[in-house]
Every structure is written in structure tokens, then in C-alpha cells.
Structure 1
Amino acid sequence: MPKKIHVVLSGGSGSRLWPLSKKSRTKQYIPLFDGKSLFEITIANNENICDEVLVIGNIDNYELTLSVLKENVSTNFQVVAEAKPKNTAAAIAFAALSVNEEDLLLVTPSDHIIENKEAYKEAVNKAFEWARKGHMVTFGINPSKPETGYGYIQSNGEDVVAFHEKPDLDKAKDFLDKGNYLWNSGIFCFQAKTYLEELNKFRSDILEACKNVMKLKSGDFLDEEATSKIPSESIDYAVMEQSQKIKIVKGTFDWSDLGSFEALYEFFALRGAYVQDSNLIIAETAHVELHGLENMMVIQSGDAILVMPIAESQSVKKIYERLLQTNKKLIE
């Protein structure tokens, strides 16, 4: 009987949440949520829905991943440690090649918050129904505001009309007004064989390169030299935007992609944590006081302190990239 496998994608660098997020502890492993991390919360959200867990993760976080799984997972689990990130098309191919072809894969990021568990479970079960019929399922979220930081999916009932890149503010307002544009959650569901067939149809080069890497797999670890030959492409570009087998499930559950400090501020401001007046303050070892400042963030971890307007939080990635060239020890 086919199994329901929860595939957790945990390979991102988390560069927009530096200095909290570093190579040795990326954002999904930071215990900001009543002592729990986003990775732990993601595992918990799906433990009663799926039969097993399969993590596709960064080699730098391998030990962290294992420790969380051993402590929190009562079912079988696997880990595939990527030698270097090659985006989601390859990561999901590794997952599909690690299970039986009839197995159903529920693919989720590891850095999202999902609330209203019953609505989430209902959406996932609907997705499993479509997946059993050979469809590729994506999850769309009803937008609550004209968000420019997410991609959008134009829908017609359960059919996808088009995928849209992150819009500017005017276009995001137009999407919101039209009512049939949903946030692209980055959550997917399909049979392993369906994904591999569609990837082979549209990007056989990625699939063949992934198969070569899996042949050289040693324990949980993938070969670095072979991995370097895999084209880096997202599942959206490689498969979802081209396939004729796509269905969309509209998620009525509460969903937040906490990929920036601005998103963290909005999340915690409603819950009374880490926010003082209009400022976001997260300090691991220092006591911080602000006076006469508004809409600022102060983030401290180890030897690094980041101070900037919350509205500029998307620029943290630029700081991370500069430090990658000039002061690597601050991001390790």
C-alpha cells in the first residue's frame, strides 16, 4: 500500500535572517517560538497526516536535523544531506528517488507557520485525493493583503490559469481585487512517479543528473562533485509552470512565510513577543533598550549586531552576501 511521505525541504541559507541565521544554524532551527523552532513545528504539523518523514537538507545542518528528528518523530524517517544546494526541482527529485514510485509525497518548506490545523488537514487530504489520480497539486493561500514578497497563482476553481512572479504594489492590489489570485505557498503534493515523469518530460537533464548523484550516495550523504553538475532550478520553473496535470487546493488555514524580519515583526506583534512599541528586538545574550526610535529592529547573535529599519529587512540578504566575501566567520 502506498505510503504518505512528508518531504521537508530544509536546505535554504536563511540569509534574510542574519545574524540569527548562520550556516551552522539556519533560520528553521532557531528556537524563537516558545522554545521551538520552525523545523520542529513543521514536523509536528504533519505527524498525524503522513506515515513517514523524509528531510532533504543542507549538509551543514545534518546533525541539527538528526537531533530534532530523533527527539520529535515517532515514525520512520530518512535524511538526504545535500552536498550543496541545487534548488527545489533537484531536492524533490532526490525525495522521489528515495521512496517507492507509488508513494504520495507531501512537500513542505521547513520555515513556515501554519495555524488552524483542521483546515490544513482538510486541504492536505483533498490534495492526496488529486495526487492519487495522477495530478500535481499546489496549495494556494487566500491573500489577506497586497503582498509583494510572494508569488501568486491565478486560478479558476481547482485549475491553475497561470503562475505570476512577485508583483509590484499596484499589481498586488489588482490581484487582491480580482479575487482569484492566491499566494503561492510552496507546498506541493503528488505521487513520486508523477513528479519524476513530469520532470523527465520538461527537464530530463535535471532528472538524469539527480539519478547520477543518487547512485553515488553514501549513507545519508550526496556526492559533491556529481551534485555540482545538476542544473539549479525551482520546481515552479522546471515543472509546475509547464505541466498539464496541475490542480490547486485553496488553503483556508492561516499561513505565514517567516522568511524576513518584517514577516517576523508582523507575526510577533500580534502575539506580544519580541516587540517593544513599534520595534523588533531579538537578542540572544545582550540586553537591548531603545528610546526615541520607531519601526526599527535590533538583532543580536554572538559577535554580530544588526540595526536597521524594519521596512528595509529585505536588504539583510545583501549584508549577508557582502559578509560572505569579507568576513565569513560572522555567518558560519
Structure 2
Amino acid sequence: MARVKEDYRSLSGPEKAAILMLSLGEEHSAKLFALMDDEEIKEISQIMSGLGTISSNLVERLFVEFADQISSTGSLVGSYDSTERLLMRSLPKDRVEMIMEEIRGPAGRTMWDKLGNVNEAVLANYLKNEYPQTVAVVLAKIKADHASRVLALLPENFAMEVIMRMLRMEAVQKEVLDGVEKTLRTEFMSNLARTARRDAHELMADIFNNLDRNAENRFMSALEERNRESAERIKQLMFTFEDLVRIDAQGIQTLLRSVEKDKLAIALKGGSDAVKDLFFKNMSERAGKMLREDMEAMGPVRLRDVDQAQSAIVVMAKELAASGQIVISEGREEDELIY
């Protein structure tokens, strides 16, 4: 018979994780396993299979410790800088730089994968100051659709120089390719990573935007009690369904072409009169009539469904704004339009 584990102090980290996974049940533990790599799954699975009987007191103590750790606000603070300092104590500088670039840089296994995830305007702005031959090598290595967008943003004469070099380009020597890759890694990607760090309040505003209404109100109320200044700043940074009134008529028409009509009907059921008027004013009389009929026909809708539909439209508006297809005014006087 397997022994009963009761000595909490002797448990290792992986053992605690294994007990926690067992306690969560199949549905929740499956979601966590899906987020792990193969080695982590193998290690925890092996430990789980050999745990034997776990006393209820030990499980309870484990959950209390877990709850205390995730609710603690002042225990440890991890950052890029503190991680880099720690690595510098045990690894060579060039190795640390490579690791930190992997952490900070856009997603991708290789440098060329990473460049494929860099906005074309940002990449073009960097490349316009490089030699045409270097730019030709870079554009030849990234995907054609991305290269075309970058090329279109380069100064015309410079772009033609790049095109001519690409047409005459033969097989690039490995040393040349390595040199270009090293330059991109040390100069461009590292600078990009430093400038891309987000303010913590901006990140939290995005997270709050994706919470359902009840959770958002609950967390915001709790945050106001602990740190009213941070709560107010997050509120200012949040972009909600009601903030769609900050989009001009042309932008709303663009948004209407991108939004699923059934989601719009559900979202508007829970929207203010101002938002409803904004959408209906920018629709044809026939389309507006059909939408009103759809809204009436669906009867009462669940708050959760309204939140999900509104969130989907807000995400779509942000994506259109990020790509420059619509403009979201920040409500300042200089953002007002003159007709």
C-alpha cells in the first residue's frame, strides 16, 4: 500500500505542482497541460503516478500557500532588467544578449521569422538608412507579401536601387548573411524590444477590456480601494464599446463593413442611445430598419452574450485603428474634425 504523504516541508516544487494538478480535476488540469511543453508534462506525470495517497490536510495547506502567493503584491518583481543582470553573472555577454533578444523580440524561431512579425513601417524606417545591398538581402529573406509592403514604403529612388540589386543578386555567401543577421539582432531587434515595452497600466487596461462586465466592476472596485490613482489611470486608458462614439462617420462605416451583423444586433441591445444613434446614422434606411427588426425579434439577451459581442466589436475597432483604416479620437480639442 502506498504511503500517505503528510510532511509538507519535504515536498519539492514539481511535487506541489503534481498534487495541485490532481486536485483540480480532469477538466481544469487538461487546460493547464495544454499550456506546458513535453518535458514539463513528462516530469509532472511521472511524479503524479508515484504520489500515492495525499492527506486532506496537506492538500489544504498547499492551496492556502498557492492562494497566498498569487495574492501577494510585494514578494518578488521580475523584469527584463533584473533577469538580464542575473544571467550576466553566470553566462557570457554574447549568450545573454542572444537570450534576452529571444525573450524581448517579436515571436519567431529565427531572425527572419522575427522580421516577418515586425510592422512594415517600422522595418522600412530602419532599412532606409542601410546600404541598398543590405536591404536587398533582407527583402530576399523575408516573405514576399511582407517584402512588398516594406518596399512600397521606401523612398522611390532608393527602392529602385534595392530592386536592381535584388535582380542581380546571386547566392549570398554565408559570411555575408551571418553579418547582416548579427547586425539586425544587435542593432535593430534589441532597440525594437526596448522601445516596445508597454506601460503596466496600458497592459492592465487591455486585460480589463476583455473581462466580462461583472468581473470588470468587481476588480475595478477592489482596485479603487487599494490604489485609486492606478484605477483612474486604467479607466482613462480603457477603450470600451461606449467609446466607439470617438470614431468619425467614415470610420464607423468602415467598422460596419467588418462586423458580423448578428453580433452588432446583440451588442447594440446593451448599448447606450448615443452608440445606437451613431451606428444607425451611418447605415442606409433599409439596413437600419432590418437591424432594428432583428434586435426586436431576438427578445431579451443574456448580459454575457452582450459583453462578448461588444468586446468582439471593440477588438475589431482597435485592429482597424492599428492598421490605419480608421481613427479613434482621444477626445482632445486638437482631435476634433473641421468640415
Which structure has greater strand proportion? 1
- The TM-score with structure 2 as length reference comes to 0.21
Which structure has greater helix proportion? 2
Rg (Cα) greater in structure:
2
